[in-house]
Structure 1
Amino acid sequence: MYADVIIDVPFHDVDSMFVVWHGHYLKYFEIARCKLLEQFEYNYNEMRESGYAWPIIESYVRYAHGIVFDQQIRVRATLKEWENRLKIEYQVFDVKSGKRLTKGFSCQVAVCIETREMCFQSPQVFLERLYAWPAFQTKQK
């Protein structure tokens, strides 16, 4: 249960050495995460409409190899946990060589927008959409 995105690293993401600034890695993770959430129709607009926000409560990045200007990368977001929190793992690969450049993860929890209280389980609306996703059904067989 994953999504891949291809990104051409833009000039405005790099430093004077033409290496991607470390904070932009999280942006690349976010792009892949949105693609993953769109696949089962629960991206940020749907989250808000269902009455929940899903803030990031933890993130981690392992910078194994630098990413540079004009490099084409593939970012894979893989859903790992969903019952109590949303944990998504990421891997970043160089498109040409296939070499893994970076890995990491993010964790999100549901927060009721109306009460601002954190949920200790994923909301039913989220689980229904996830369980209806054909990729999830295939994985569970």
Structure 2
Amino acid sequence: MKIAIGNDHGAVDYKNTIMEMLRNEGHEVIDCGTDSYESCDYVDFGKAVAEKVANHEVEKGIVICGTGIGISIAANKVKGIRCGLCTNTTMARLTREHNDANVLSMGQRIIGIEVAKDIVHTFLSTPFSNGERHKRRIEKLAEMEK
């Protein structure tokens, strides 16, 4: 799978660890984040990942900042993006099954790295349920973007 990953200064370590894990598993990973611990704006990195997903340059996106909140808000501003902030694997599974989320957000200061890895695996391996009520709700979200 081709995946874009982005982060701000608050999530350099998690980005690097997750990128290495994904590459070792055979995924193609596009690094849209920073490697600097100097303060920078999460908005730029959330947007960069979201645009790659929205333009179909990659299949999925992962965004990480200190809490995951700001960068998820930024990603969700891009038309066609459904970014879910997840702190456990149940949330990761449900955001894929119910919301067909195409971007995952996490917070380095909120969850441990092993939990983050499990969340990534769950997010990437869970298909959308294609349930009628879920498709209807996603269509309503798309209408809001017009």
* TM-score in same-fold range (> 0.5): no
Larger Rg: 1
Query: Which of the two has greater strand per residue?
Result: 1
* Higher RCO (CA 8 Å, separation ≥ 6 residues): 1
Query: Which of the two has greater helix per residue?
Result: 2
